[in-house]
Amino acid sequence: MSFHTGTAASAWAVPSGVYRVKLATDDWELRRYWQLRQDVFCREQRLFTNTDLDENDSHAQPIVAVSYNAVMDDDVVGAVRIYEQSPGVWWGSRLAVAAEWRGVRSLAAGLIRCAVCTAHGYGCRTFLATVQLQNVPLFRRLHWSTLSEVEVCGKPHHLMQADLAHYPAERRREGHSGVVVTNLSATTRAISPASIGHSTICPFLEVS
């Protein structure tokens, strides 16, 4: 139940650098979301033997980064999930980025920001995650603080909390169409996501 930025084998040769982050709503997005998790956490990192599914998946909201190729959505190249553990207390976990997209600036940060802003919009008052040691500096740059050091799946992690002052609540509204975000300039965007069942776009955060 931790935040990891991982890699996964895929058919992409060169990433376009054009993507968007959204709540996973379409069947194909959900299929690729599950596949990316399997590739990263079971096959690559070997944190789990056969599946990384757990009891939180029954009520978690999947969030995906979808690559955009010329005129259509291409594939899921990043993933994360959020869920409410108790009233007002939300967790993020299963953060994964496909191999060819790890060098794309701000993709992981965009997933993190979408996760926290979306939860904040649902009434989150505390947002937590367990973060692999090598990813702690990234989260600190994104206004997270360490609460304690823990071990998850036999690996050292930090239990971290997001500073919600830097993650404005995103209110869902009807009729918001898809917005393509390029990685040419990592500009912070404030885009209100649409409601579940529509194209739901989340804001991005520059990583300095």
Where do we find the tokens 């002052």?
165
User: Which domains does the chain show, CATH number per domain?
Assistant: 2-182 (3.40.630.30)
Q: How far apart are CA 205 and CA 115, in angstroms?
A: 12
More confident residue, 7 or 74: 74
Q: Quick check: 170 and 164 in contact, CB under 8 A?
A: no
Give the CA distances from residue 127 to residues 93, 103, 174, in Å, rounded to whole numbers and listed in that order: 11, 26, 26
Model pLDDT, residue 81: 95
Q: What is the mean pLDDT of the chain?
A: 77
Residue 141 reports pLDDT greater than 80: yes
- Number of residues in the chain: 208
| Cα–Cα distance for residue pair 29/34, rounded to 1 Å | 9
**pLDDT (tens digit, 9 = 90+) per residue, 27-71?**
999 999 999 998 888 888 888 888 888 899 999 999 999 988 755
pLDDT band for position 176 (cuts 50, 70, 90) = very low
H/E run at residue 90: strand 89-97
pTM over 0.85: no
pLDDT given for residue 5 in this prediction: 53
